[in-house]
């Protein structure tokens, strides 16, 4: 029996983070395991004997040789280290053009945000996804880090330290690197003050959690949101198949799936669905029962709509991922070898009762969801915990077409039949409905909102897990959050005042405003400012590498040397930004300082590289964009405008509202923009994939170790 091992990297220290992809503001996270500093060693220079299209990358322990099949096999590496050889055959027919990806708005999804395509790098991404040996995977990731550092399609400013501000009456805070806190699991001192917040007749009292923040969520539809704010909301109003319980990182816990098992090679997973769950529709005051068909429809729908977030379903064969009855699953258990692992227990399971007992579940069930993978992918459970895969009621989304669609799909056994009822893109009717009137199964529901002003969520009276609330709050010494309110204010000074007056319990502040929040008192309570943990969060800029002059590597390198990193860290982030040289965080497999360029602020070097590049900078304009309300990114943009213009470029700065900002980035309508990245799931592939993968399709990728 081959046990499927989910390789998750345990983080050492705990803090707070809002996770999920692109950021409107910096979010805190955990301190990774320290990595011993290595002396930077120059990468080997390619010699004329190396065939065109073959690349040799020296890592600390290996030479990684990557190239086309038929060329890479005969290439020798210098002695003294083991060799990892990656050969590939490109599938030209199925490799989309960059223009096509831009037109469809798939930047930050099917292709990296810089629209950078490097075939060898893409082959390494694919190789690491297939590889199961952690040491080999780490070496492949290190090779990618070295290439990304050299090519610089992204300009890495640094890795963020934790930044969070809240009043001491708020308790129970915890940290997870990919999920927001669940606000029903946080509580307040029952004696906390009650303060009018200026939104209708709402009051920030002990039973109301008020958040002062910036921006606006990309969408209320989980299938079309790929940023921290949207995921934060869906972690409150939705449920996924599996989740992480508070700060747990080593393994997922049951959510709408109460138990799961897989076949021997990990290409088929079976999730037993929790019974008695309903989705609450506050817009019509109705409920909809949830079963395995809703699960199949929800996951299939994400892929069908095809928003950039759907790239994570490239690991799933959604058309062959189906709903089953318990009887059908019992037949599979009796006739095939299925295995399960949970809380230290592992082994083959032969019956549904045995599986449920392993997970400690004895309640009712609502069918089984069979998840089909084209090939094994160890982080799959972490992906299934992401809020964009929240389960939605198919009946609500399809309305009077529901019964017809259910019959056409044979109750979820033929998902492709749903193509007649859900269209691609944001014009889809189910998206338009969810975008405006979201419905979910989570502890809260969206009660009302005013765009760019506020969002109000209230306790879900039909929540399947509300028995937990009775257990947590029965003593009366903790005030539960019956209401959650996000107040949107893009002015940092105004947000400071909201916090000082107790109008909000927590506030998003730029680092230069942290001193304004320290040492405050209000009715016997104190402000809490936490800045002590290094996050697995990267702040960086994106070059449009498909556009002149950013398609010239020497120009990108010159701009990297014309970046005042120390000033950005000290003056913009108050020291809460630690140097990093590509987009893999310190302490994660793949981060290395071996064989890399440690870019420093060096205008003479930058000017030399511009001259060497052969371009005339005075003939080019560069527009640097940032998301409105993020004062830190605005300051970075201004600093870059000053230094890059000294190279001869005409540089302008422009702020855009968050949804517009994302849309322009996804469609390649930019020169250079500033953004941040937090992990979607706990694997290094979640950095190198979305941030560097160039959407090359392959007929074959093979890894061998010598």
pLDDT in tens, 611-647: 999 999 999 999 999 999 999 999 999 999 999 999 9
Residue 22's pLDDT is 57
Burial of 447: CB neighbours in 10 Å, binned 0-12, 13-18, 19+: middle
Give the tens place of pLDDT for each residue, 151-173. 999 999 999 998 899 999 999 99
Please check the confidence at residue 37 and state whether its pLDDT lies above 90.
Answer: no
Q: Which two tokens stand for residue 631?
A: 């004062």
Q: Which helix (H) or strand (E) holds 15?
A: none
Residue 19 has pLDDT above 60, yes or no: no
Two tokens, residue 590: 């793949």
Following DSSP, what letter does each residue of 339-355 receive, concatenated? EEEETTEEEEE-SHHHH
Residue 532: its pLDDT value, please?
82
pLDDT tens-digit profile of 470-501?
999 999 999 999 999 999 999 999 999 999 99
| Secondary structure class of 129 (helix, strand, coil) | helix
Check: CB of residue 690 under 8 Å from CB of residue 227: no
Closest Cα partner for 193 from 668, 520, 618?
520
Q: What is the pLDDT of residue 30?
A: 35
**Mean pLDDT on 192-196:** 98
Dihedral in degrees, nearest 10, Cα atoms 7, 12, 18, 23: -80
691 preceded by a cis bond (ω within 30 of 0): no
pLDDT at 78: 86
At CA 48, angle to CA 42 and CA 52, rounded to 5? 95
Cα 614 to Cα 72, 543, 617, 618, 704: the distances in Å are 32, 19, 9, 12, 40
How many angstroms separate the CA atoms of 566 and 570, rounded? 6
Residue with tokens 């020497």: 554
pLDDT of residue 610: 98
Chain segment 100-125, per-residue pLDDT in tens: 999 999 998 899 999 999 999 999 99
Beta partners for 82? 62
Residue 9 reports pLDDT greater than 80? no
Task: Give 318's DSSP letter.
Answer: G
Task: Give the pair of three-digit tokens for residue 190.
Answer: 């029952």
pTM assigned to the model: 0.82
Check residue 40 and give its pLDDT. Answer: 39
Rounded to an integer, the average pLDDT of 521-535 is: 94
Q: Determine the pLDDT at residue 53.
A: 85
Quick one: pLDDT at residue 504?
98
Say if residue 15's pLDDT is above 60: no
Among 75-84, 85-94, 184-193, the least confident range: 75-84
> How high is the mean pLDDT of the chain?
92
Spatial distance between the Cα atoms of 65 and 72, rounded to a whole number of angstroms: 7
Tell whether the model's pLDDT for residue 48 goes beyond 80: no
What are the pLDDT digits (tens) for 279-300? 999 999 999 999 999 999 999 9
CB 259 within 8 A of CB 365: no
Query: In this model, does residue 45 exceed pLDDT 50?
Result: no
Q: Which two tokens stand for residue 400?
A: 């009077």
State yes or no: pLDDT of 530 exceeds 60.
yes
Residue-level pLDDT at 50: 85
Q: Which of 289-303, 521-535, 671-685 has the highest mean pLDDT?
A: 289-303
Distance between CA atoms of residues 113 and 671, nearest Å: 11
Single out the residue of 155, 393, 402, 387 nearest to residue 292, CA to CA: 393
CA dist 689 and 46 (Å) reads 26
pLDDT greater than 50 at residue 39: no
* pLDDT of 590 above 50: yes
Residue 46 — very low, low, confident or very high, per pLDDT cuts 50/70/90?
very low
pLDDT of 27 higher than 50 = no
Q: Give yes or no for residue 2 having a pLDDT over 90.
A: no
pLDDT at site 31 = 33
Report the distance separating Cα 11 and Cα 653, nearest Å. 37
pLDDT band at 52 (very low <50, low <70, confident <90, very high): confident
Q: Give CA separation, 79 vs 83, 306, 389, in Å.
A: 9, 46, 47
Give the per-residue pLDDT at 79: 83
Q: Which of 77, 71, 73, 86 is nearest to 131 (CA)?
A: 86
Q: For residue range 382-440, list pLDDT tens digits in order.
A: 999 999 999 999 999 999 999 999 999 999 999 999 999 999 999 999 999 999 999 99
Only one residue has tokens 């091992």, namely 5
Query: For residue 10, what pLDDT band results from cuts at 50, 70 and 90?
Result: very low
24: pLDDT confidence band, cut at 50, 70 and 90? low
> Are the CB atoms for 655 and 592 separated by under 8 Å?
no
β-bridge partners, 487? 212, 454
In percent, how much of the chain has pLDDT > 70?
A: 93
């Amino acid at each position: 029996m081959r046990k499927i091992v989910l390789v998750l990297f345990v983080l050492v220290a705990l803090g707070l983070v809002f996770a999920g992809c692109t950021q409107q503001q910096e979010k805190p996270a955990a301190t990774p395991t320290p990595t011993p500093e290595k002396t930077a060693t120059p990468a080997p220079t390619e010699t004329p004997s190396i065939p065109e299209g073959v690349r040799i990358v020296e890592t600390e322990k290996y030479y990684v040789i990557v190239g086309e099949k038929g060329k890479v096999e005969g290439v020798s590496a210098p002695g003294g280290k083991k060799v990892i050889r990656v050969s590939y055959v490109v599938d030209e027919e199925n490799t989309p053009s960059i223009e096509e990806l831009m037109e469809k708005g798939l930047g930050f999804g099917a292709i990296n945000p810089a629209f950078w395509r490097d075939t060898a790098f893409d082959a390494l991404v694919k190789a690491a996804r297939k590889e199961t040996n952690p040491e080999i995977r780490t070496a492949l990731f290190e090779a990618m880090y070295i290439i990304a550092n050299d090519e610089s399609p992204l300009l890495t400013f640094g890795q963020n330290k934790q930044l969070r501000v809240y009043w001491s009456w708020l308790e129970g805070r915890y940290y997870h690197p990919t999920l927001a806190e669940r606000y029903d699991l946080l509580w307040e001192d029952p004696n906390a003050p009650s303060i009018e917040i200026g939104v209708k007749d709402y009051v920030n009292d002990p039973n109301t959690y008020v958040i002062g923040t910036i921006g606006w969520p990309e969408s209320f539809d989980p299938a079309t949101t790929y940023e921290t704010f949207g995921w934060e909301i869906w972690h409150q109003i939705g449920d996924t198949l599996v989740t992480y319980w508070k700060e747990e990182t080593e393994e997922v816990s049951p959510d709408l799936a109460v138990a799961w098992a897989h076949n021997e090679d990990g290409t088929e997973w079976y999730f037993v669905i929790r019974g008695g769950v309903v989705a609450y529709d506050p817009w019509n005051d109705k409920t909809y029962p949830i079963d395995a068909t809703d699960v199949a429809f929800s996951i299939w729908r994400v892929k069908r709509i095809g928003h950039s977030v759907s790239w994570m379903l490239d690991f799933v064969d959604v058309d062959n991922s189906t709903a089953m009855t318990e009887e059908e699953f019992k037949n599979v258990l009796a006739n095939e070898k299925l295995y399960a692992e949970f809380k230290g227990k592992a082994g083959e399971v032969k019956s549904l009762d045995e599986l449920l007992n392993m997970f400690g579940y004895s309640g009712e069930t609502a069918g089984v969801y069979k998840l089909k993978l084209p090939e094994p992918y160890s982080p799959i459970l972490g992906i299934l915990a992401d809020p964009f895969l929240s389960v939605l009621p198919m009946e609500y989304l399809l309305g009077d077409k529901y019964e017809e669609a259910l019959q056409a799909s044979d109750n979820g056994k033929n998902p492709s039949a749903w193509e007649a009822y859900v269209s691609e893109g944001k014009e889809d009717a189910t998206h338009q409905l969810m975008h405006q009137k979201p419905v979910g199964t989570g502890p809260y529901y969206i009660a009302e909102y005013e765009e760019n002003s506020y969002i109000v969520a209230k306790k879900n009276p039909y929540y399947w897990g509300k028995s937990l609330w009775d257990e947590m709050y029965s003593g009366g010494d903790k005030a539960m959050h019956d209401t959650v309110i996000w107040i949107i204010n893009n002015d940092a000074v105004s947000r400071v005042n909201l916090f000082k007056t107790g109008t909000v319990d927590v506030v998003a502040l730029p680092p230069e405003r942290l001193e304004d929040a320290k040492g405050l008192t209000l009715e016997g309570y104190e402000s809490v400012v936490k800045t002590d943990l290094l996050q697995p969060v990267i702040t960086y800029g994106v070059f449009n590498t498909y556009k002149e002059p950013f398609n010239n590597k020497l120009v990108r390198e010159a701009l990297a040397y014309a970046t005042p990193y120390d000033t950005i860290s000290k003056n913009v982030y108050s020291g809460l930004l630690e140097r990093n040289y590509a987009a893999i965080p310190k302490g994660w497999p793949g981060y290395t300082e071996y064989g890399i360029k440690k870019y420093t602020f060096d205008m003479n070097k930058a000017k030399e590289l511009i001259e060497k590049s052969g371009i005339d900078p005075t003939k080019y304009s560069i527009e640097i964009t940032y998301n409105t309300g993020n004062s830190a990114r605005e300051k970075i943009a201004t600093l870059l405008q000053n230094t890059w213009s000294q190279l001869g470029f005409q540089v302008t700065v422009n702020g855009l509202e968050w949804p517009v900002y994302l849309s322009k980035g996804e469609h390649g309508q930019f020169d250079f923009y500033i953004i941040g990245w937090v992990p979607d799931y706990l694997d290094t592939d979640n950095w190198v994939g979305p941030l560097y993968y160039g959407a090359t399709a392959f007929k074959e990728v093979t890894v061998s170790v010598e």
